[in-house]
Structure 1
Amino acid sequence: MIQEIHGTVADGFEAVREEFAAFAAGERPDHESQLCVHVHGRRVVDLWTGGIGPHTLYGVHEATQGAVFLVVAVLVQDGTLELDRKVTYYWPEFAAEGKGGLTLRDLVAHRAGVVGTDTGFTLAELADDRALAERLADQRPFWRPGAACGSHPLVIGALVGEVVRRATGHRLQEVYEDRVRMPYGLDLHLGLPAAQEPRFRATQPMAPTPAQQVRLDALATGPHTLESIALNRHADGAVDPALLPNERLVRAAGPASAGGIASARGLAGLYAAAISGTGEHEPLLKADTIAEVGQLHAAGLDPVTGGHAAYGLGFEAVADVRYRFLGAGAFGHGGVAGALGLADPRSGLAYGCTR
C-alpha cells in the first residue's frame, strides 16, 4: 500500500517531499512518520504520512538527550555550570568507587563508564532520575572514567540531571520547561501532561528477525554483557527499552535519557531554537557556545555497542557518526525507534523526524 503524504514544503524543497514519499512507500504498510526542517529559523518542510497528523506525539527515546545537552549548554553559557570542574564539586557522593576525578566535560561526553548497575533497575527507577542517580553514585564504573566514550542510553540524563539539580536547585526537566520549551513553544515534553495524552501514539513492537531474536535472547539470559547492562536487559522483569515510553509512568515523569515525548516539529524546533531562534525569539546559544557544543570531545570504539562513537558536548557528532555530508560541527541525537533531531550550524539547518 502506498502511503499518502500530507503537509507542505517551501519552494525549492519539492525533492524532499519526493524522497519522503519514496521512503514511506518502502516501509511496512502501517508505517507512520513525520519530517520537519527549518533553515535559518524558517520552517521549509513539514510532512507526515496519512494515518497521523503533525501534532501526533511519539516517544523519541535517546533523541530526548538533545534537550538534556541543550540545557547543559545554556547553563554553561550563563556561568551556572563549569565544564572543567569535577563532578564532585556539584555532587560529592559521585566520588564513590573511583569516580572522583571525572570532570563535568567528561561526564557529558559519555566517558564516565557508569552505564548501568550490576543488578539493573525497576520500571519505577527508570522513570525517576533522582532514584537512578542515587543508585549510580555508588556504582563502580565499567571502564576507567575518561578512558573511553560509550553509550549510556538509559542513564546519562539522570547523571547530568543530578549535576543540574545540585547546581540550580531545580530538576533538569524544570529548567528545560522554563528556559527552553515554554519560551519557544516546543512540542517536545520531558513530562507529558495528562491533557496531552490523547495525542500520544504508542510505539509498536516489531517482530525481530531470527538473528535478532537470538541476540535479544542472549542479552536477556546470557552472561551480563556491557550492552545488556546498559540496556537494563539483565534486570529481573526488564521492560524492552524501546517500549518504555508506552508506560504512562515514564511519559508523566519524562526521564531525561529516553523519556521525551515529541513530534517532528518539536525535535526540529529544539535545534532551530538552539542555533537560529524562532519567530521573535533570539537563538538560545551564542556563536562561541554553538562552536563548543559541536566540537568533537570524544571519539573511538564504543565499548557498549561495539561500533564507532563520536560526541560533541553531549550531543552525537552526527557529521562524524552518521551523516558525513553535514557541515563540520553539526550535532544532534538519534533514538532507538528512528527518531532523530539535529542541527548543522554552518547551513542553518534544523531537522527533526519521528517514525
Structure 2
Amino acid sequence: MTREIHGTVADGFEAVREEFSAFVAEEQADYEGQLCAYVHGRRVVDLWVGGEADALYGVYSSTKGAAHLVVALLVQDGTLELDRKVTYYWPEFAAEGKGQLTLRELIAHRAGVVGTDTGFSRQELADDRQIAERLADQRPFWRPGTAFGYHGMVIGALTGEVVRRATGRTLQEVYEERVRAPYGLDFFLGLPAAHEPRFRTTLPMAPTAEQRALLDAVPGGPHTLASIAFNRHTAEPTDLEALPNDPLVRAKGPASVGGVASARGLAGLYAAAISEREGKAPLLKEDTAAEFGQMHSVGYDLVSRAHRAYGLGFQATADVYHPFLGAGTFGHAGAGGSQAFADPRSGLAYGYTRRRFAFPGGPAPENDRLAAAVHRAALSG
C-alpha cells in the first residue's frame, strides 16, 4: 500500500524524502508520523504521513530536553549555579543523606532517588510539585553522587523544584515565557485546552509475534530498581504507553514525560537553542551549549542496566544512539519513539515523532536511518 508523503524538503535534501518514503512503505498500514529538521536556523525538512501538518503527539521523555533547556538558560543567566548544593535552593532535600549533592550531579542523574518506596498515584505523576515533595523525604537507592541511573519519571520534577525555589516560577511557566511563546513552538509543557483538538491519541505498541517473544523474555520483577523508576511496583502500575492519553498529564505537562509536540516543535526547540532564528540570537551561548552537552555520567546505568551517557539533563545523543553525529550533540529521545537533538558542529536540529508507540520503547529504530540521511545532507550542503 502506497501512502502519500506530505510536506517539503529544501534543495539538497531530496534523499531525506526518499529515505522517509522507503521507511513508510515498510511500516504498518496505520503508520502516522512526522520528520522535521533545521540547519543553521533554516528549516530544510518538513515531512509527515497521516494526520495533519500541525498534529500534536505525546513525546514522553523528549520533554526532558525542553525542561533542561530552561535550566541551561537559568545557569547562563547566573540564576542557578551548577556546583552549588541542591539544598542551597531546596533545604528539605537534605533528608536521608542527600545534603551534599550538587545541582550538577542532580541533573546528571546521580541523585539516587529514581522513585519512592511505595510509588506514585496517577494524580501525583501528573504534578511535579507532588513528586518533588515525596522525593525530598526519600532515602536514595544508591549513595548520591557515586553512580548514576536514569531518573526517567522524576528528573523534571527534581530540577523543576530547584527552578521554582530559585525563581518563584514553575519550570513550565519559565519555559512558556522564555522559550515556547517567543518562538511559537508547537511543543507544550501543559497543553492549553484550545489546542486539545490537535492532539492525536497515542496508539499502543503492536509487536509482531517474534517481537512479543523478545519482550516476554526480558527479566524483571516488582521490586527491581527499574520497576521503581518507572512506577511499576505499585498496586496500579503506570501504563507508560497510555500516559499522554491522560488529559490530566497533558494539562499539567510534568517536565519528565508530559510534553506534547509536533516534529516541527521538537526540531524548532533545538534550532532556537543553537542557531539564529527570525532575527533572534541563539538561546544558548556556545560555552553553555558545550557544557550542557558535555558528558557527565557515562558507563553502566543502574536503572537501564546498559551503557548510557548523559550530559546535564540531556542525553549524549552521539554516544548512545547516533555515532555519526558531532561530538557534543545534545538532545533527548522519548519512549514512544520520538527523537530530538542539536548538533552544534553541523548546525543541525532534528525532530521526529510518531503516533503508535514504537517497539521496543525508546527512540524508534527508524531514527537511525532518518537522522543519518538528514546529517549527510546537512554536511554536503
TM-score by length of 2: 0.90
Distance 2:189 2:155 in 1: 15
Specify the code of the residue in structure 2 equivalent to 1:178.
Answer: E
Distance 2:277 2:247 in 1: 31
Please list, as runs of the form range in 1=range in 2, the aligned pairs for 1:3-22 lying within 5 A after superposition: 3-22=3-22
Secondary structure of the structure 1 residue equivalent to 2:59? strand
Please list, as runs of the form range in 1=range in 2, the aligned pairs for 1:52-201 lying within 5 A after superposition: 52-201=51-200
Distance 2:288 2:159 in 1: 18
Distance 2:204 2:293 in 1: 33
Secondary structure of the structure 1 residue equivalent to 2:349? strand
- For residues 313-345 of structure 1, the C-alpha deviation after alignment (integer angstroms, 9 at most, x for no partner) is 110000111111000100000000111110000
Specify the code of the residue in structure 2 equivalent to 1:206.
Answer: M
- For residues 237-284 of structure 1, the C-alpha deviation after alignment (integer angstroms, 9 at most, x for no partner) is 123112111000000000000000000000000000100032122110
Q: Is the 8 A contact 2:222 2:232 kept in 1?
A: no
Q: Which residue of 2 aligns with 1:211?
A: 213
Please list, as runs of the form range in 1=range in 2, the aligned pairs for 1:288-299 lying within 5 A after superposition: 288-299=287-298
The percentage of aligned residue pairs carrying the same residue is 71
Please report how far the alpha carbon of residue 147 of structure 1 lies from its aligned counterpart in structure 2 after TM superposition.
Answer: 1.4
Secondary structure of the structure 2 residue equivalent to 1:21? helix
Q: Is the 8 A contact 2:205 2:241 kept in 1?
A: no
Specify the code of the residue in structure 1 equivalent to 2:14.
Answer: E
Q: Which residue of 1 aligns with 2:375?
A: none
Distance 1:157 1:196 in 2: 23
Q: CA RMSD in A?
A: 1.2
Q: Is the 8 A contact 1:184 1:281 kept in 2?
A: no
Specify the code of the residue in structure 1 equivalent to 2:48.
Answer: W
| Residues 236 and 277 of structure 1, relative CA distance in 2, 3 Å threshold | farther
Q: Which residue of 2 aligns with 1:24?
A: 24
Q: Which residue of 2 aligns with 1:328?
A: 327
| Residues 186 and 118 of structure 1, relative CA distance in 2, 3 Å threshold | same
Distance 1:26 1:306 in 2: 31
Please list, as runs of the form range in 1=range in 2, the aligned pairs for 1:312-351 lying within 5 A after superposition: 312-351=311-350
- For residues 20-51 of structure 1, the C-alpha deviation after alignment (integer angstroms, 9 at most, x for no partner) is 111111221101110000000000000001x2
Please list, as runs of the form range in 1=range in 2, the aligned pairs for 1:161-310 lying within 5 A after superposition: 161-208=160-207, 209-211=211-213, 214=216, 219=220, 222-310=221-309
Specify the code of the residue in structure 1 equivalent to 2:151.
Answer: H
Please report how far the alpha carbon of residue 215 of structure 1 lies from its aligned counterpart in structure 2 after TM superposition.
Answer: 5.7
Q: Is the 8 A contact 1:55 1:199 kept in 2?
A: yes
Distance 1:210 1:15 in 2: 33
Please report how far the alpha carbon of residue 109 of structure 1 lies from its aligned counterpart in structure 2 after TM superposition.
Answer: 0.6
Please report how far the alpha carbon of residue 223 of structure 1 lies from its aligned counterpart in structure 2 after TM superposition.
Answer: 3.6
Distance 2:142 2:54 in 1: 42
Deviates more, 1:265-274 or 1:222-231: 222-231
Distance 1:223 1:193 in 2: 36
Distance 2:53 2:156 in 1: 27
Specify the code of the residue in structure 2 equivalent to 1:12.
Answer: G
Distance 2:349 2:205 in 1: 29
Q: Is the 8 A contact 1:61 1:242 kept in 2?
A: no
Distance 1:147 1:302 in 2: 12
Please report how far the alpha carbon of residue 212 of structure 1 lies from its aligned counterpart in structure 2 after TM superposition.
Answer: 5.1
Distance 2:175 2:271 in 1: 15
Secondary structure of the structure 2 residue equivalent to 1:157? helix
Secondary structure of the structure 2 residue equivalent to 1:337? coil
Secondary structure of the structure 1 residue equivalent to 2:12? coil
Specify the code of the residue in structure 2 equivalent to 1:54.
Answer: A
The number of aligned residues is 351
- For residues 273-306 of structure 1, the C-alpha deviation after alignment (integer angstroms, 9 at most, x for no partner) is 1000321221101111111111111111111111
Q: Which residue of 1 aligns with 2:378?
A: none
Distance 1:7 1:136 in 2: 44
Deviates more, 1:282-291 or 1:255-264: 282-291
Specify the code of the residue in structure 2 equivalent to 1:28.
Answer: Q
